[in-house]
Structure 1
């Protein structure tokens, strides 16, 4: 990073249009040019940019939290949440699938054109990464940058201000942040399918932990005191199986 130029300041970017570029994307496994007009024109869009798909902080925190808070952001006037990285379309598609990030539009800036236009292209050759994006987030209204959060320029990979919670607080400081939802499920279980459908149809983001060699019925019983699948936790509290989940969803929607 030491050979990279100084990053722009938020003040130098706010009020300016986003760079006009064409991304080489592969939605539905077919090549398609995706323009910045298509992404931003007439829309309110949250953008977060990061060094790379599959990297630790990006995979463990940055992308998952935006995916989790996407319904809340949309409730507060955001039309789309876009993740941009200097990776190719194949890598971005595989990362989205592996992260189960259905609430996020992942955009491959493979040549770094958009990132360079933002002034955020930095040298990561000491890590074998070549040139990548610095970590930042921004709120864009009709193609114009309203607010930018740029991570401090120092060694390593700082992650302090471009997170989803900071963006949500900027958009609406009083927004209600949902508690995390985790479901322990068994493949092929009809009750698990009922619970999953209820959660998805009501826009509730959840983490599904399916039964495997480590998550067995014995483990489930040790965690919940129950033997039946699924078992769903909300904010660390056990809600229960499919019937209890449907009741909880109904109560949540009324609140």
Structure 2
């Protein structure tokens, strides 16, 4: 049986040393290094590359990382019972530079949390149950543990639930997507305008099999770049600059 959130809140995190490989060099990382004197969000999941983890759980924490940091969070830790090589490759593939990936390879931390579960029926061996928590100076402030049911429930450990607890008034920026072309000066100008406003964006480049025909089908235009904000087409670099200028006056992102 899984522990209840209330049974863990107010208690210290387990004392564990992780075997990590930042910058492709073995390094011991202790829980003291991760948590002492810091406010840290941890989200733990069954495994790297698994569907919910890769499509929803990790990406949204990565997207909202600036909002969490503006709300007083020092670090966001993604943890799984995987080895350091797997976690490093997953981080690179997910373009998740804003997240600290910690390999709980032996499951010691998950076991200390009481959240190490048997997934041998799937060929996974022992894995972490899905959960998230807010840790202040090594003490668990808030726990969100997924309900104990069949499958892979994903109901309460998501980034939005954590943000509502941490800062209900936080303003979540609209997602930004830019269709760009390598070597395009107007694309570079549009990205610089977004960077200047501190707006994170997903860059879909022509090199990723996006050609002018696809661009016309998506944006109704064949000139590069084309920028979407919150699902709405803004247009090219000139249109983006006009949009950002107008929203700076109105105070909306």
Common topology (TM > 0.5) = yes
Name the structure 1 match of 2:117: 122
The answer for unaligned runs of 5 or more in structure 1 is: 1-5
Asked whether the equivalents of residues 182 and 207 of structure 2 are also in contact (C-alpha less than 8 Å), the reply is no
Q: Secondary structure at the match of 1:90?
A: helix
Matched, 1:161 2:165: no
User: In structure 2, do the counterparts of structure 1 residues 221 and 50 end up closer, same or farther at CA, with 3 Å as the change threshold?
Assistant: same
- Structure-1 residue corresponding to 2:45: 50
SS at match of 1:114: helix
Q: Distance in 1 between matches of 2:71 and 2:182?
A: 35
Give 2:64's aligned residue: 69
Please give the per-residue CA displacement for 1:199-232, whole angstroms capped at 9, x wherever unaligned.
3454423222222474211111222222222211
Establish whether residue 182 from structure 1 lines up as the match of residue 177 from structure 2. Answer: yes
Partner of 1:208: 203
Could you say which residue in structure 1 is the equivalent of 2:130? 135
List per-residue Cα deviations over 1:25-53 (Å, max 9, x = no partner): 11111111111111111111111000111
| 3-state DSSP of counterpart to 2:121 | helix
**Deviation (angstroms), 1:21:** 0.7
Instruction: Give structure 1 regions of 4+ aligned residues with deviation exceeding 6 angstroms.
Output: none
Residue 25 of structure 2 is matched in structure 1 by 30
Aligned to 1:17: 12
CA deviation after TM superposition for structure 1 residue 247, in Å: 4.9
Partner of 2:77: 82
Measured at CA, do residues 250 and 130 of structure 1 come closer, stay the same or move farther in structure 2, by a change above 3 Å? farther
Q: CA deviation at 1:248?
A: 4.3
Deviates more, 1:213-222 or 1:52-61: 213-222
CA distance in 2: counterparts of 1:253 and 1:80, whole angstroms = 29
What is the DSSP-based 3-state SS (H/G/I as helix, E as strand, rest coil) of the residue aligned with 1:111?
A: coil
Deviates more, 1:208-217 or 1:106-115: 208-217
Name the SS of the counterpart of 1:199 in structure 2: helix
**Corresponding residue SS for 1:98:** helix
Change (3 A) 1:88 1:189: farther
Tell me if 1:220 matches 2:220: no
Question: Matched residue pairs, number?
Answer: 250
Q: CA deviation digits over 1:112-166, x for unaligned, max 9?
A: 1111111111011111111111000000001100000000011100000000000
State the match for 1:3 in structure 2.
none
Question: Could you tell me which residue of structure 2 aligns to residue 91 of structure 1?
Answer: 86
Q: Does 1:106 find its partner at 2:105? A: no
Structure 2 residue runs without a partner (length 5+): none
What is the TM-score of this pair, normalised by structure 1? 0.92
> Residues 172 and 243 from structure 1, CA distance in 2 versus in 1: closer, same or farther, beyond 3 angstroms?
same
Would you say the 8 A contact 1:14–1:147 is kept in 2? yes
Cα-Cα RMSD: 1.8
State the secondary structure of the residue aligned to 1:34: strand
